[in-house]
Structure 1
């Protein structure tokens, strides 16, 4: 599926077909309060020491007549979150120690464990968005055949993928250097993320 979706994305960006654009997607965002969850260090997986995971349920009206993945890409990019990709969530526990990540569900549903092996299981479905602070473990446990995720990252930070025990000491050192994004990937500068992910004094 990723190869087909990547070709589709390239064609849409080149032609503009199926895309509403950054201005058009704002009308598809619904007012929602984020569900917040804090995960503790579990001995192997750091999780973020200060900032909670945010889940916006049914926050995007994906509707019909346009590519749902493109809607989510345009929304994230309009709010300064880029390097978008289309795929699923890996079926093994992993985390990013030097960058935050947002996951928008464009099709289907999946059972995803967040917070590592001792974390919590959430069913994420089309229209949901999860914002993961750096060091938050995530893993897909099961999914529909058509489950499709759009991921993105804020402009500051460097992508990495941590899975092994030897990644842990480095992750503990780098987490303090990963700053809060300037914009919420769904609501922009005035969104809840700025309030919930306050910079340390």
Structure 2
């Protein structure tokens, strides 16, 4: 694999979306030559329960699992971090690792925009939208989500594992 172009984004709790102290990790153009085998690569690296679709057009997050999104076609603008977060352009071949609690919302996309999503270590995921009544439970959930043991692209000892372990 060629040297990865990695970007990290940090988000604070905005009162609705709790976010996480761990950074979102964006690997640019990291799926080149592996678009068709994206779900299988994630699975080999212990990120499973995969699905193929788009990203919801409303702010949401998962309080009980981290998530990886591999962009397999098209492009999109996605706001991460909830209202007043950061809008990021993603394109075919990009991979985004979203820590538990970090909000995401598709703002706009090409008609062919599609992602493969997956979760570490066979974890299931919930769907939260920032409602006040969710808050006590989700804060505890986020704190209890274990760090992944593998990077969805590089496996054991990959960039994500080292970065998140060093910060925890």
Alignment TM-score > 0.5, same fold: yes
Alignment match, 1:31: 3
Higher Cα Rg, which structure: 1
Q: Could you say which structure has the higher helix fraction?
A: 1
- Looking at structure 2, the residues matched to 89 and 185 of structure 1 have their Cα atoms a distance apart, in angstroms, of 19
Higher mean C-alpha displacement, 70-79 vs 92-101? 70-79
How many residues are aligned here?
Answer: 167
Alignment match, 1:47: 19
Alignment match, 2:64: 98
Q: Write the mapping of 1:27-176 to structure 2, written as runs, cut at 5 A.
A: 29-48=1-20, 50-62=21-33, 68=35, 70-155=36-121, 157-163=123-129, 164-176=131-143
- Looking at structure 2, the residues matched to 156 and 100 of structure 1 have their Cα atoms a distance apart, in angstroms, of 11
Higher mean C-alpha displacement, 168-177 vs 135-144? 168-177
TM-score (norm 1): 0.79
RMSD: 1.6
What's the offset of the Cα at 1:74?
A: 1.3
Instruction: Show structure 1 runs of 5+ residues with no match.
Output: 1-28
* Aligned counterpart in structure 2 of residue 180 of structure 1, from 144, 147, 151: 147
Which has the higher relative contact order, 1 or 2, with Cα contacts under 8 A spaced 6 or more apart? 2
TM-score (norm 2): 0.93
Deviation above 6 Å: which 4+ runs of structure 1? none
Instruction: Show structure 2 runs of 5+ residues with no match.
Output: none
Q: Could you say which structure has the higher strand fraction?
A: 2
Q: Secondary structure at the match of 1:198?
A: helix
- Looking at structure 1, the residues matched to 99 and 153 of structure 2 have their Cα atoms a distance apart, in angstroms, of 15
